Structure formats: structure tokens, C-alpha cells
Chain A
Amino acid sequence: MELFANQVLAGIATGAIYACMALAVVMIYQAIDHLNFAQGEMAMFSTFVSWQLMQWGIPYWGAFVLTVAFSFAAGIAIERLLFKPLAKAPILTNVAGFIALYAIINSVAGLIWDFTIKQYPTPFGSSPFLGSQLISTHQAGMIGITLLMLVMLFFFFRFTRVGLAMRAAASLPESARLVGINTSWMIALGWGMAAAIGSVAGMMIAPVVFLEPNMMLGVLIYGFAAAVLGGLTSPFGAVMGGFLVGIFENLVGTYIPGVGNELKLPIALALIITVLVVKPAGLFGRPIVKRV
């Protein structure tokens, strides 16, 4: 029983990584109805920017704030320059755009900062959290930051006019235009917010997986799995999905013989497929009901 409890706790700790990334995935899905395959690379690039700022002597939280602001602006710029012209193009064109963006960002990061693995600092320290060896203060801090972002998103969407306008633009673009909402800018704003959230995810994840251009490869797949499990329409679901995927991954690794670290990634993919077949709207998502 103690083993079980410990594995759940360890699962929550790794799940925080996925939850963080899933939040960014859901954000962009809400705005554009697609999954952005370059989301992880954008987060990685942001993390490198923060690392560079710290190399130049800017303290952690200063670099943190500057990076979030930079990522927000960069997300908007990417939408305006690359994806606005593709707004009316078929889905496959957009997917090709995402993959191109993925490759470009990955290469540019490698070009600027090379592919050697770098240490990345944590503001929370890495001692055991409340005396537990399974969860460090950094992981606890990461969980705290993820939940804080979730609460902020909730208030933004529920109680601000811009949040209301963004929800309207995402659910019914034509009706949104008919009440005077500039839906095109709402999409750009969604990109900016997703990039900003992704940058926070990257900066929280980097101390765990270390900083290098391919750091987000596995994380993004788990982030997708978490978002799909929780429901792509629900930020709360995405965070819960992240924790559940982390716990699930750990328990399967512990109790099912033969599943070592090598088979953990296929588990995430199997989870995505199972959820899409059995419960396409996810655990917390709103099923799309149409009157016929």
C-alpha cells in the first residue's frame, strides 16, 4: 500500500509537467480548433531565451517575466505572419505549417545555442518537499504555478470582457463578428496566450529534463495525451488529465511487469487512442451536441 501511495505521489510530480504543457495545448485548441505541433518547440525556444537572459546576468524572476512577455508577442507575431494567411486554407495546409514551424524553431535553436545539454535553474530549490523523497520542492512549486495559471485562466475567461469575446469567437465566429468582435485578433490573442503559457511550462520543465533543443519532444506527446484525456475544450480537464497521465504512467510502470522506461511513451499514445475511441470529448470536456 505504501508503494502504491508513493507511486501516485511520484506520478503527480511528473504529471505536473504534462499538466503545464496540456494547458498550453488546450489554449491554442480553443482559439484555432487545431493542435499546434510546434507548441513544444515554441516553449523550448522561450526557455532558451530565458536561459540567455540569465546568462546575461538578469535574475531569475526578471528573466521569467521578460520571457513570458516575449513569448506572448512572438505568439501573436507567428499568427499574424504565418497562420493568418492560412486561415481559410484546408486543415492539411495548416498541419504542414505547424510541422514547418516545428522544424524551423528546432533548427534555429540548435544553431544559436547548439545541441549540448544545459543545466537550468529552479527558483524553488530541489530539496525534498515536506520530507518526502518522491516529490521535490521544485515539483511542488511547479504544481503550484500550474494551478495558479489555471485559476487565472478561469477568471480571465469567466469574468473579463476580452475573455468572453474570445470564447464567443471560438464557439461561433460568424455570430461573434455580428456583435462587433474582431475574431481575427481574438485568434492572434489565443496564440499569444498559448505561447506565454507554453513558455512558463518550458521554464518549469527545463530543470527536470535539462535544457536542449529536443527537450519537449516527449513532453509534448504527453501533453497531448493529457489534453485529450481531460477534454480539449477544458483547461481544468487538461490539468487533471496531466496529473492522471502521470499517475497512470507510474502505476503501469510499477505493477505491470515488462513495462520499463522504454514502453512509457507508447503508453501515452495508447491512452490517446483509447480516449478518442471510448470518450472522444475527454473526461471533463463538453461533448458537442447538435440538434438535428
Chain B
Amino acid sequence: MTSMLNVKDLRAYYGQVQALHGLNFQLNEGSLTTLLGANGAGKTTTLRAICNMVRSTGAIEFEGKPIGTRSTENVVRLGIAHVPQGRGTFTTMTVEENLQLGAISRSDKKNIVADIERMYDHFPVLKQRYTQQAGTLSGGEQQMLAVARALMLRPRLMLLDEPSFGLAPLIVRDLFRILGKINREEKVTILVVEQNAQLALELADQAYVIETGRIVMSGNAKDIANNEDVRKSYLGY
């Protein structure tokens, strides 16, 4: 398996405060990787550093190209879709406009309409509401919309920041099932940051555990799930 994203010695700063202390990790092409950790461990910062939304040093390579100095929008244009914490929904716009915005940097305009239809297949609930203002959707629907918006980029890599946050358990299951399907069928490499470690480990094939800005454990998701320390700290049994 080839490595798609390679992160070396990543350090990130908020003003004077250092949030990441030299992270090293890599994502294999086609993999579904989860990044686990407690509150404040640096999970969100890691995703933000990849998209250059926070001051950072170190080397980030995407498909062999260094991307550390690119602006956020130019990182995204390489095919890295980022579903931020809080979903980043354009609440005053319609569902359909949100989907069109997901594809706004694409030049193949012809295929966009077909892609919107494809999203409605993945997420039928969005089809019923396509003229509705996105802000009026429920939390679960907004998360579906955020994932659909990210997919409209036709990304090679998708970064998700706590997609389960604030959602009912049944909806989380549904969402994770769809993420697995997207990973397998559309060959999108996925990095998902999660506090819901149990579900994330069931879904993922690779896992990293992060503590106070450092990777403390990495490996196969099954092995991590069976690790005693992880079970006690993150799975609670």
C-alpha cells in the first residue's frame, strides 16, 4: 500500500501555546484511519494543521507533494475535503446551494448535476429538503449535508472532525455506515477524529491515539481496540 498523506514532526501553535509536539503519522491510500484522544489532546488541531488553518511547522506531504506552505483553499483544491467541527454548514443557504458550494472549485461543471443526484442517493433525506434553508435541518441532517458537501469536491482524502458530536446513537451508526461505504465504493481515503472510540475502532482499519499533542500509540484498529490501556481510557471497560 502506498502512503497518501505523510506527516513528519508536526508542531502547531496557538499564539505562544504549543498544541502539537512533533506528530508523525501516515495514511495509506484507500484506508480509513481514526485519530483518537481525549478533549484537548490535539485532534482538531491536527486536522486544522493539515489544511493550514493554524500556524505549524514540520513536513506534510500529500501524494508526494509538500503542502505545508499552501493556503487553506489551495490545499482543498488538491482534493482534500475537510468537514470541520460544528459542520461548517452555510445555514442561510439552501441544501442544494450547499452542495453546489462543495463543488465550487471544480472545473468539470458538466458532472456536478449528476454528482448532486448521487448525493441524494446516498442521503435521501437531503433530496426531500433540497430547497430548504440548511439552518433549518436537524443536527443529523446537517451532518449528512456536511459529508455530502465534502464529497462534492470529489476528494481523494476526506478529513472529518468528530462527525458523531451531538447526534443520537442511531444516527451515528447510520452515518458511520455511510462513511464505510464511501471509503469502499468511492475509494476515498478517510481520516476521522473521534471521541466515540468504540464506533470509530469498529469502522476503521488503522488507528492512532494522541495524548497532549503526541502520538502515543498506533497500529491496526483491531489491535488497538484490544489493547488494555485503550480499553480502560477510551472504551470504558
Contact = CB atoms under 8 A, between A and B. Distances in A.
Interface stretch (B5-13, B28-36, B72-80, B226-234): B72-80
Given A172-B90, A178-B88, A164 B105 contact: no
Between A161, A165, A175, A181, the greatest number of chain B beta carbons within 10 A of the residue's beta carbon is seen for A175
Interface in A148-172: 161, 164-165, 167-168, 171-172
A93 B182 CA distance: 48
Interface in B62-85: 71-74, 76-77, 81-82, 84
Contacts of B77: 180
A171 B92 contact: yes
B90 A171 contact: yes
Given A167-B93, A168-B90, A171-B92, A183 B73 contact: yes
Listed from nearest, the 3 A-B pairs whose CB atoms lie closest are: A180-B105, A175-B88, A180-B76
Nearest to A172: B90
Nearest to A178: B82
Contacts of A177: 53, 71-73, 76
Q: From DSSP, what is the main secondary structure of chain A's interface residues?
A: helix
Contacts of B101: 164-165, 168, 176, 179, 181
B188 interface: no
Contact of B149 (A171, A179, A183): A179
A260 B1 CA distance: 83
B90 A178 contact: no
Given A168-B104, A179-B104, A286-B92, 18 more contacts: A161-B100, A164-B100, A164-B101, A164-B104, A167-B93, A168-B93, A168-B101, A171-B92, A175-B88, A176-B101, A177-B53, A177-B76, A178-B72, A178-B81, A178-B82, A178-B84, A180-B73, A180-B105
Contacts of A33: none
A248 to B, nearest CB: 30
Nearest to A183: B73
Interface string B87-115: 01110110001001110110000000000
Interface of B: 51, 53, 71-74, 76-77, 81-82, 84, 88-90, 92-93, 97, 100-102, 104-105, 149, 153
A174 interface: yes
21 contacts: A164-B104, A165-B101, A167-B93, A168-B90, A168-B93, A171-B90, A171-B92, A172-B88, A172-B90, A174-B53, A175-B90, A177-B71, A177-B72, A178-B51, A179-B149, A179-B153, A180-B74, A180-B104, A181-B73, A181-B104, A181-B105
B113 to A, nearest CB: 13
Interface of A: 161, 164-165, 167-168, 171-172, 174-183, 286
Contacts of A174: 53, 84, 88
B205 to A, nearest CB: 26
B73 A182 contact: yes
A179 B84 contact: no
Nearest to A233: B92
A43 to B, nearest CB: 29
Contacts of B73: 177, 180-183
Nearest to A165: B104
B105 A179 contact: yes
A164 B92 CA distance: 12
Contacts of B90: 168, 171-172, 175
Contacts of B71: 177, 182
A173 to B, nearest CB: 10
A175 B101 CA distance: 10
Given A164-B100, A165-B104, A168-B101, A178 B76 contact: yes
Between A161, A168, A177, A178, the greatest number of chain B beta carbons within 10 A of the residue's beta carbon is seen for A178
A178 B48 CA distance: 10
B193 to A, nearest CB: 15
B133 to A, nearest CB: 10
Contacts of B82: 178
B76 A179 contact: yes
A180 B88 contact: no
